[in-house]
Structure 1
Amino acid sequence: MTINKWVRWLLCAALIGAGVVAWLSPNYEEAQAATDRQTVDCMVKQLTQDDKRNIAQFADTNDFDSLWRVYDRVFPDCTVRGDQRDRKNELVTSAWRVLSTDREFVLLREAHAAHAAPGR
């Protein structure tokens, strides 16, 4: 077999391989979204009651650096894929949004705001 035939065979194999990969991964974005939801849910569930109290306090004083430090502690335990590290800010923001809708957390924020209100 000549070198040209080997090159053609390798090229054909590469094209077939790329086609198979494209065929098998049409739902890549759905899979990525599912693992991102899993990571966000994990980050919210990993927070302790003290973490939630601290986040409520930091959120009310707009101390977002301290708020992110709380998430920095739980993020490594919850990441599923390596590319999530590149999107950490997005995932932490999503976790913050989910936590912000949690009834228990809303009560913590209200209690902290009432305690920190002037005249108290």
Structure 2
Amino acid sequence: MTQLYQIAPDRARGDRTLATALGAARSLDLALLLAVGAAALLLAHPVPRAVPQLVLGLALAAWCVAAAAWRRRARQLTTRQHEARMYTALVLWALIDAAVLLGLYAGR
């Protein structure tokens, strides 16, 4: 996802990245698929049971909603808009990381 706003310059230079091979829309499809898989593992694995499930679920849902909205408009977005959505996704993923860390280390 971090490469999506760079697809045009990467292609112009002849760089071969996953984002240039898949394009923005399919890269986001893959990101959403992998995020759903990660969410299933985080919510099902026995260790993260200490993670506040509501906090983790909300953070995961917020990321998925933002990524899905990005995906819906991927073909119409400018480079700057792709970059802004990438930073939004990174902030939301940091909240997921914080929820996991909170659950793992808060009670120690």
TM-score normalised by structure 1 residue count: 0.29
TM-score normalised by structure 2 residue count: 0.31
Largest Rg, 1 or 2: 1
Quick one: higher RCO (CA 8 Å, sep 6+), 1 or 2? 2
